[in-house]
Amino acid sequence: MISSISNTSITAPLSKINISVIALPAALIIMSVIFSILDPVFFSGQNLITILHQSSIVGIMALAMTFVIITGGIDLSVGPVLAIAGVLCAWFLQISDDSVLIAIPATLSICFTIGAISGSFVAFIGLPAIVVTLATMSIVRGAGLLIAGPSLHLIREPESFLFIGSGLIGGIPVPVYIFVVLAAIAIFVQKKTTFGVLVSAVGDNHRATFLSGHNSNKIKIICYGLCALGAAIGGIIQASQVHTAAATYGAGIELDVIAAVVLGGASLMGGSGTIQRTIMGVLMIGIINNGLGILNVQIEMQLIAKGAIIICALLISQLDQRRSK
Amino acid sequence: MWLLKNIPNRELILFFVITSLIFSLFSSTFRSAGNVENILIGFSHLGILAIGQALPILMRGIDLSVGSILALVGMVMFDCYIIFHMPGYVVLPIAIAVGTMAGVINGILITRFRIQPFITTLATMAAYRGLTYAISGRQLVPESATQAIDDNLLGLFDEFSGIFPYSFFLLLIVLAAAQYILSRTRIGLDLYSIGGNPEAARLCGIKVDKMIIISYGFSGFCAALAAIVMVSRMTTSTENLGIGIELTAITAAVIGGISLQGGIGNAIGPVIGAFLMGVILVGLTLTGISTYAQPVITGVILIAAVSYDRYKYYKLRSKNSAGESA
């Protein structure tokens, strides 16, 4: 497996204040204050909705990715899955006479299957998740290009499809509602269902979960399926937002998604991570992108800043773990 | 038979020969000398990158930032030559130093702060790409974009000696050096020990952190050499140089028998892996298969290669445990 050669301890004493727990909310507040001082526009109700709107696609994908990362895996193929979902949806709309009720379920089930297939390679053959999904990333991207070519495909109809990405309810964009509802469902699944507990158990100790009579392979496969499902929902929202589908969308988006989850404190070794903290990570990335955009920072500096901020956030949590050892 | 058993990567070489024979039967262009030249010059830099990638993977790590280091080094060469008018013999050492430094920074982040290699290099992948845009001479001095890098020394790797391009000789030198270090020196022994069992290696007194920094530094060094070859061939550089090439380099290394479990592999395998991918991709293009099918095929080959690696690992393990019980 790809793993760092580290000897960090996982358990921290409960008695003292855990820096890694409060670091992220503190960083969120500090960054918001700094951006608000530099440009008051940042701290307006309208901009807060904009931040949520901008981070909704990455947010939805990060919710699903959290489950995969908790099992100790990773899914790099979310970008191409996002693209192929848009392409498939456009195609299904075309052949089903603009029936959203056929196109969206069909797209979602195909994408779930794609995820489940990479999950099977990870679960049954025991291949490293990073390599399997690196390969499916390449395969799905190529398949998308074979289906749709490199060109943009316009989606003008039907209204109900375009409403998903660009509609407003009470002045708030629909993707924000989708993100909030899915976040609530994901929190419920993680906290209140057997599946949520089993996901953590598989990540913590795969063998022990198997020996206590649970089908740990099935859980892994479902997690990868869900991750692709999240990417597909993101893809449908994006296609509906920009009224086009293309096989080239979503390049590099996996970096943002994984960064959001890891910023939220989920360990890539598996077993730890919660949906709430992932949402904080998503907001953090959203605030960085939005704030740097408002301040007119150039795109190249944004890339450097994002890399640096992610590394700093990880440093803080690592330092804390080492101190508590 | 005894001799045959001692050839390294014999399954891979056999597969390479069979694939080449099949394509030669189906395409008359494929079996021409011109095509051999094409494959040699088109994939030598990939071979160099794959050797570089082999070291971090041997140590159970991974280096995703090689594509961005490649672009960074390319842009440094562009700036030095076109904007600052430095001669080729000054540009080359600067380029190599920049690439090695970028790799060493990866290594320091991984060892000092104990961040997982995958995340570190994912972050530096974004950061180095951003840095490339930031220092891009094409944007700072727009009229420079159309000027070519026409230095004799910097254009060396676009030239041929017979059917062999100079970049292929560079690959052979890197290969010989890497294989010598891995199999004949203390550093190589330490690398294998750490890859096999990091904790045991640490307890034996091997400086694990230093070796990790060396391995990422070497990966950056190889990325710099690959950048020099690519810039030499294109006579210019762009900000988008080498996007996605890390996938191909990792694939070549894994096909070449560098085990992701760590501690298994040699320097020759990745080079054969790189040229095998070259043969397959060029062969498919020449037999008229869409270029969009290429990423699909690359992905399938990667999965097949790791599955085989896994199979060998299981077989080795079951053989070992059988030996213990007997």
The predicted structure's pLDDT at residue A6: 40
ipTM of the complex: 0.78
10 Å CB burial of residue B156 (0-12, 13-18, 19+) is middle
Residue A263 — pLDDT band, cuts 50, 70, 90? confident
Which candidate in A2, A4, A5 is best for mutational testing of the B interface (most B CBs within 10 A)? A5
The predicted structure's pLDDT at residue B1: 53
Beta-carbon contacts of residue A292 (< 8 Å; ≥ 6 apart): A301, A302, A305
The predicted structure's pLDDT at residue B2: 59
Which candidate in B113, B207, B247, B312 is best for mutational testing of the A interface (most A CBs within 10 A)? B113
A319, pLDDT greater than 70: no
CB contact under 8 A, A139 and B131: no
Residues in A touching B114 (Cβ below 8 Å): 4, 6, 8, 318, 322
- Nearest-Cα distance to chain A for B162, in Å, is 36
Residue segments in chain B with a per-residue pLDDT below the cut of 70:
1-8, 322-326
Find the mean pLDDT for residues A88-115: 92
- Nearest-Cα distance to chain B for A45, in Å, is 31
CB contact under 8 A, B110 and A136: no
Per residue in A199-257, pLDDT (tens digit) is 999 988 888 888 988 899 999 999 999 999 999 999 999 999 999 999 888 887 887 89
Residue B177's φ and ψ, nearest 5 degrees, are -65, -45
pLDDT cut 90: percent of chain A above it: 42
CB contact under 8 A, B290 and A8: no
Higher pLDDT, residue A260 or A156: A260
Whole-Å CA distances, B12 to A39, B148, B277, B303: 60, 40, 12, 15
CB contact under 8 A, B130 and A127: no
Candidate from A49-58, A114-123, A142-151, B139-148 with smallest mean pLDDT = B139-148
A302, pLDDT greater than 90: no
Touching B: A residues 303-322, CB under 8 Å: 303-308, 310-311, 314-315, 318-319, 322
pTM for the structure as a whole: 0.80
The predicted structure's pLDDT at residue A129: 87
In 3D space, the residue among B296, B303, B313, B213 whose CA is nearest the CA of residue B261 turns out to be B313
Closest alpha carbon within chain A to B116:
A4
Touching A: B residues 107-146, CB under 8 Å: 109-110, 113-120, 122-127, 129-134, 136
Higher pLDDT, residue B50 or A13: B50
A14, pLDDT greater than 70: no
CATH number assigned to the domain with residue range B7-139+147-315, chosen from the 4 options 3.30.70, 2.50.20, 1.10.3470, 1.25.40: 1.10.3470
Identify which of A4, A149, A301 has the shortest CB distance to residue B130: A301
Which candidate in A1, A3, A4, A309 is best for mutational testing of the B interface (most B CBs within 10 A)? A4
Residues in A touching B199 (Cβ below 8 Å): 7
In 3D space, the residue among A9, A73, A103 whose CA is nearest the CA of residue A270 turns out to be A73
Radius of gyration (C-alpha) of chain A in whole angstroms:
20
- Nearest-Cα distance to chain A for B164, in Å, is 31
**What secondary structure does DSSP assign to A259-277, as a single string?**
HHHHHTT--TTSS---HHH
Residues in A touching B290 (Cβ below 8 Å): 146
Candidate from A7-21, A54-68, B106-120, B132-146 with smallest mean pLDDT = A7-21
Residues in B touching A128 (Cβ below 8 Å): 260, 306
The predicted structure's pLDDT at residue A7: 39
Give me the long-range contacts of B305-310 (CB less than 8 A, separation at least 24). Answer: B305/B251, B305/B254, B305/B255, B305/B273, B306/A127, B306/A128, B306/A131, B306/A132, B306/A135, B306/B254, B306/B260, B307/A121, B307/A125, B307/A127, B309/B254, B309/B257, B309/B259, B309/B260, B310/A125, B310/A126, B310/A127
Higher pLDDT, residue A195 or B298: A195
A17, pLDDT greater than 70: no
The predicted structure's pLDDT at residue B66: 95
The predicted structure's pLDDT at residue A5: 40
Closest alpha carbon within chain B to A150:
B292
Residues in B touching A315 (Cβ below 8 Å): 113, 115
The predicted structure's pLDDT at residue B226: 95
A9, pLDDT greater than 50: no
Higher pLDDT, residue A181 or B303: A181
Touching A: B residues 46-65, CB under 8 Å: 59-62
Higher pLDDT, residue A267 or B188: B188
A192, pLDDT greater than 60: yes
Touching B: A residues 133-152, CB under 8 Å: 134-139, 141-143, 145-146, 149
Domains identified in chain A and CATH numbers: 20-28+38-320 (1.10.3470)
Sign of CA dihedral A256, A261, A265, A270: negative
Find the mean pLDDT for residues A105-119: 95
The mean of the pLDDT values for chain A is 85
Identify which of B110, B122, B134 has the shortest CB distance to residue A301: B134
- Nearest-Cα distance to chain B for A230, in Å, is 22
The predicted structure's pLDDT at residue A12: 44
The predicted structure's pLDDT at residue A18: 64
